[in-house]
Chains A and B, each alone.
Chain A
Amino acid sequence: MKVGFVGCPPHDIMREYESEELIDLDNDLGRVEEKSDLYLPKISCSVIKRVFNNALAIKPQKIIFDVGEGKCDSGRFLSWILKEHFNMDIIETRNQNRRGRGTVICDSRLPLKRKFELILNNVIENRDFKLEREPHPKAGFWSVPCWDSRIFDLFPDGTTILGWTRCFENGTPDDLELECYAREDIPTVFYAQTFCSKNLLAKNLARVYRGLYVDCDGMLTASVEAKIEAFLYLRGAVR
């Protein structure tokens, strides 16, 4: 049975379905038909559009949809739409876990792209990693998982992951205090998908921690790429 999931549902419910084919609908699942333009407003964030397109294309028998504060209102509304208008079998969860499992991957020396792959896949694989910690990260990346993963290539290896993705690895997706953790001594890019309410946090955290705030709607644009490249260079994170 195909079981889709959205956001970071509680560990217990994911274990109930671990013998099924679990599919992360937030992720890039290859070419799927674009239907969001028919049903969702243009001002929906790219990740919400992707969840919608993936759900309609994959047609999982069940979707475990985390609709708590660890996701967003758009996610909660989309869950309702999929259930009521598209007759999908939705299991709604609200992950309020506070027993953190740690942020070993976020703080490791691995390249940023590899870190995101491990974190996202680990919802399904549920492995414990022993990775060497990067004691002096040259850069920080505060974000949710990005629609366009090419952004990761701009950062030096060992870039520390902050924001919701850090909460995701920790298994505490609605922990706002952890989500807002950052360090002024690490040049940090605060990234949010255009139209996502996390832009409020990203812009203000960037101001307070002297970081770079960027928002991007889907594909990485040349100007966003250039801003990140220049910021990391001018703050001494890359040479």
Chain B
Amino acid sequence: MTVFADFGSTWTKIVDSSVRILRTKDVPRDIIADIACGHNAKIRSKRCINELIALCEGGLRLIDEKDFLLVDVGSRDIKYVIYKDSRFVETGWNQECGASQGFAVELLEMYYGLDYNELEPIENGHPVTCGLIGISRIFDEIIKTGNERKAIARFVKGIATNVYHFTGKPKRMYLSGGLCDNRLFIDSLPCDVLPLGRLVLIEGLKEIHKRTSL
């Protein structure tokens, strides 16, 4: 049984005969994947694949269109790929300025005990380019207004706007990663969003494995 793994900074996706999504800090040290990408993949797998290449291959496998933009919003970064006429044209990976945005969304959910699916999107967001700076803005707003829900919705809107700008203000995007389950984030993006779930990179790894083991 081939073991595929996407070692994210905070969440690890492991697929063999089952699908496991674990906190990265809880992944047993003895797990060595056959083919993997992400955080520590070089030392935790027999074959390490560049995450952008895995994202491209996952997109090609899951999206039945010749032209598409696929963006993966992770815990600490944003990556995207653009295909036109089934040919790769552009990629971007924002690790520095997208720092910890996804992780900040998760921390806030835990701290305030929120359900993002119950929050209403807001029109104007905070200009958020970094999770930590964004959190500081939230605290400022909560001190001023006392409205936690509105402050957090504004933060999420800011993150969504940042993703939208980073990917070149598309009319439509396919979304990969944990934020696919976050309705507030999806509704805060000012374009059509088609969520593909958390296993897009794993699908890419499967495609690469299939092609190279023939």
Contact = CB atoms under 8 A, between A and B. Distances in A.
A227 B52 contact: yes
Interface size class of A (residues with CB under 8 A): 10 to 19
B170 interface: no
Given A233-B50, A234-B88, A235-B88, A227 B56 contact: no
Main secondary structure of the interface of A (DSSP, over half): helix
A227 B53 contact: no
B96 interface: yes
Contacts of A212: 90-91
B51 A226 contact: yes
B147 interface: no
B53 A222 contact: no
A230 B77 contact: no
Given A210-B89, A212-B91, A223-B77, A230 B96 contact: no
A231 B52 CA distance: 9
A222 B95 contact: yes
A223 B96 CA distance: 8
A226 B80 CA distance: 12
A103 to B, nearest CB: 28
19 contacts: A212-B91, A221-B95, A223-B93, A223-B94, A223-B95, A226-B52, A226-B93, A227-B91, A227-B92, A227-B93, A229-B52, A230-B50, A230-B53, A230-B56, A230-B91, A231-B91, A233-B50, A234-B52, A235-B88
Given A221-B95, A223-B94, A230-B91, 16 more contacts: A221-B96, A223-B77, A224-B93, A226-B51, A226-B93, A227-B91, A227-B92, A229-B50, A229-B52, A229-B53, A230-B50, A230-B52, A233-B53, A234-B88, A234-B91, A235-B88
Interface of A: 210, 212, 221-224, 226-227, 229-231, 233-235
Interface of B: 50-53, 56, 77, 88-96
